[in-house]
């Protein structure tokens, strides 16, 4: 039973990461290759505060907030660079985080932080992660249908044209980064307390690419697509043990197939199937 609870917990945390990244990349069109850095900021912040004696809820909230604040800083950087250059900047941010965590002794260095207090049961963390995923999905769906979602669309399609019709492009870029990175910080804080051990490599570039793969395979711009992609890529290595050793190879192959035959991901295929079914009805 503990095994299934752990899988459900990590699947829910990956949903939070993927839906958060989708707010930045799918909704607002800002390519981010350093999402794991904010995941790490939330994890390290919450872990250090818990070790220092803070209550779990306060440590988790602080880690979430700090990741969101750093997301705002990244959002300001996004005002000066676009597309490929923004991808490089965010990728560099991820490398800076891992390198810093490895070198600073007060962050645990290569050994990371261990013996992190764990006040909840395994099932308690699972329900917390699932609740966080559900709340984020509901908020994301609401944003998509709101005036903010339409503004995000305008920024993603053409920033100059969006400005000409009165959309405050800088504000919406920063808002997207804040929401997406705060979500990653929440996931990191829960992850740290579930595992009770965090190391720098757990938040490296490979993790950022894995989360991006979840969004792309599920469907960039689709909230439910991102959530589905996260669940699928979390469960696949568990269901097919032979895949686990070649996980990144499989992720890469799936990305290539999606980009070649279905650039809108699973969400695009679902929409096509519904449209086809409607025509035959």
Residue 265 forms part of a structural domain: no
Residue 268 forms part of a structural domain: no
Q: Which domain holds residue 104?
A: 2-202
Q: How confident is the model at residue 241 (pLDDT cuts 50, 70, 90)?
A: low
Within a 13 Å sphere around the CA of 106, how many CA atoms are in the beta-carbon half?
3
Task: Tell me if 39 sits within 8 A of 191, measured CB to CB.
Answer: yes
pLDDT value of residue 273: 54
CB-based contacts of 49: which residues, under 8 Å, 6+ apart?
Answer: 58, 59, 62, 63
Tell me how many degrees the CA angle 272-273-274 measures, rounded to the nearest 5: 90
Distance CA 182, CA 135 (A): 13
Q: How confident is the model at residue 281 (pLDDT cuts 50, 70, 90)?
A: very low
Instruction: Tally the domains of the chain.
Output: 1
The SS3 of residue 240 is coil
- In sign, the C-alpha dihedral spanning 68, 197, 246, 4 is negative
Residue 111 forms part of a structural domain: yes
Residue 59 forms part of a structural domain: yes
Looking at 143-205, which runs of residues are DSSP E strands? 197-198
Give per-residue pLDDT as tens, 65-114.
999 999 999 888 878 777 778 888 889 999 999 999 999 888 889 899 99
Within a 13 Å sphere around the CA of 141, how many CA atoms are in the beta-carbon half?
9
Q: How confident is the model at residue 10 (pLDDT cuts 50, 70, 90)?
A: very high
Residue 250 forms part of a structural domain: no
- Predicted structure pTM score: 0.90
Task: Tell me if 97 sits within 8 A of 70, measured CB to CB.
Answer: no
pLDDT value of residue 268: 59
Residue 61 forms part of a structural domain: yes
């Amino acid at each position: 039973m503990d095994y299934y609870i752990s899988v459900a917990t990590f699947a829910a945390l990956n949903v939070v990461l993927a839906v958060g990244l989708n707010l930045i990349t799918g909704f607002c069109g800002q390519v981010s290759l350093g999402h794991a850095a904010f995941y790490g900021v939330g994890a390290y912040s919450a872990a250090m505060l818990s070790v220092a004696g803070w209550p779990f809820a306060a440590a988790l909230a602080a880690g979430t907030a700090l990741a969101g604040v750093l997301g705002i800083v990244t959002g300001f950087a996004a005002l000066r660079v676009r597309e490929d250059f923004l991808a490089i900047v965010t990728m560099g941010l991820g490398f800076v985080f891992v390198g810093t965590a490895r070198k600073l002794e007060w962050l645990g260095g290569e050994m990371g932080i261990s013996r992190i207090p764990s006040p909840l049961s395994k099932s308690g963390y699972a329900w917390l992660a699932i609740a966080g995923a559900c709340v984020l999905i509901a908020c994301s769906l609401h944003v998509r249908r709101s005036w903010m979602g339409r503004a995000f669309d305008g920024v993603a399609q053409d920033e100059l044209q969006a400005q000409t019709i009165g959309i405050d492009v800088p504000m919406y870029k920063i808002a997207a980064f804040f929401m997406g990175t705060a979500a990653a910080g929440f996931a990191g804080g829960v992850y740290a307390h579930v595992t009770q051990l965090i190391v720098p490599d757990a938040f490296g570039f490979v993790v950022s690419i894995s989360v991006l793969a979840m969004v792309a395979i599920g469907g960039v711009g689709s909230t439910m697509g991102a959530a589905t992609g996260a669940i699928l890529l979390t469960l696949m290595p568990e269901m097919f043990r032979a895949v686990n050793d070649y996980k990144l190879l499989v992720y890469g192959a799936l990305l290539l197939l999606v980009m070649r035959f279905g650039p809108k991901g699973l969400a695009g295929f679902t929409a096509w199937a519904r449209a086809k079914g409607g025509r035959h009805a």
